[in-house]
């Protein structure tokens, strides 16, 4: 496997289900991200993990719970979702540089998980 | 807060022709990065080109080039010799500030390439 992989690619779940999305990066990066992509809206940053520590929670409802056990893996645990949570969920990774400005290296994206909540 | 605006929801171009996609942004930071990403129908987001704000020279990558106007906060993408494979959604993105690994995306421009 190369780059950023995500599983599953498609997921249908009921509002009472619990499921998890998985992301794995094979690029040796130290930061990982979850984004939500809905139709007609810009990509929304959900969570950022930098060196396995969550550094950003962009006012995401608690029914979304991220987990980053190591710098290569990122999960998004889902429970009691709503139909409006149906979207494409994208994972990305990058190498965040040190220094005062924390230089931005390019973020590489996975193919996404298409989620449908019924 | 930082914002990114793409004013063209859709664009079309004839194969082999040139097209320019517009992007304007706003940030109070002096150190920032700008990106163009491409998302084909298969949905894998791919980096097309990036520009560091401190560099005056416009970035180029083969048929893709940008016109970076820092004072005007404009960052347009020019695609030369358009190919059918260029058809995709194109997103402009900005990363700035102390936590400048956070990307802010525009709403995207859907590019159609006509044979």
Q: Quote the CA–CA distance of B24 and B75 in Å, as a whole number.
A: 6
Interface of A with B in 53-72 (CB under 8 A): 55-56
Q: What is residue B15's predicted lDDT score, i.e. its pLDDT?
A: 97
Predicted confidence (pLDDT) at residue B50 exceeds the cutoff of 90: yes
| Residue A74 near residue A54, CB atoms below 8 Å | no
Label residue B100 by pLDDT band (50, 70, 90).
low
Q: Quote the CA–CA distance of B32 and B25 in Å, as a whole number.
A: 11
pLDDT tens digit sequence for A11-48: 999 888 899 999 999 999 988 999 999 987 889 999 98
For B57, what's the count of Cα atoms within 13 Å in the CB-facing half-sphere? 3
Give the lowest-confidence range in A56-65, B27-36, B40-49, B92-101: B92-101
**DSSP track, B9-39:** SEEEEETTS-EEE--EEE-S-SSEEEEEEEE
CB contact under 8 A, A55 and B33: no
- Give which of A107, A113, A114 to mutate to test B binding, by max B Cβ within 10 Å: A107
Taking contacts as CB-CB distances below 8 angstroms, the residues of chain A near B46 are 109
Label residue A100 by pLDDT band (50, 70, 90).
very low
* Closest A-chain CA to B40: A111
Give the lowest-confidence range in A106-110, B65-69, B80-84: A106-110
Query: Nearest CA to CA, how far is A22 from chain B (Å)?
Result: 16
Predicted confidence (pLDDT) at residue A99 exceeds the cutoff of 60: no
For chains A and B, what is the number of CB pairs under 8 angstroms?
58
8-state DSSP, B86? G
């Amino acid at each position: 496997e190369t780059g950023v992989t995500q599983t599953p690619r498609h997921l249908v779940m009921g509002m009472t289900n619990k499921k998890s999305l998985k992301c794995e990066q094979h690029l040796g990066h130290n930061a990982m991200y979850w984004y939500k992509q809905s139709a007609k809206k810009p990509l929304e940053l959900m969570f950022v993990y930098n060196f396995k520590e969550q550094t950003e929670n962009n006012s995401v409802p608690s029914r979304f719970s991220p987990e980053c056990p190591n710098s290569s893996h990122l999960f998004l645990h889902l429970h009691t979702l709503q139909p409006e949570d149906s979207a494409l969920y994208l994972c990305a990774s990058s190498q965040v540089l040190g220094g005062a400005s924390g230089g931005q290296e390019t973020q590489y994206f996975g193919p996404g998980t298409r989620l449908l909540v019924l | 807060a930082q914002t990114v605006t793409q004013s063209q929801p859709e664009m079309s171009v004839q194969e082999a022709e040139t097209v320019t996609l517009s992007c304007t942004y706003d940030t109070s930071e002096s150190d920032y990065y700008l990106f163009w990403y491409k998302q084909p129908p298969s949905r894998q987001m791919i980096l097309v080109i990036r520009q560091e704000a401190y560099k005056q020279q416009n970035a180029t990558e083969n048929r893709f080039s940008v016109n970076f106007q820092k004072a005007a906060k404009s960052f347009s993408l020019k695609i030369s010799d358009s190919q059918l494979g260029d058809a995709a959604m194109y997103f402009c993105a900005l990363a700035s500030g102390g936590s400048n690994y956070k990307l802010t995306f525009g709403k995207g421009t859907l590019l159609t390439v006509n044979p």
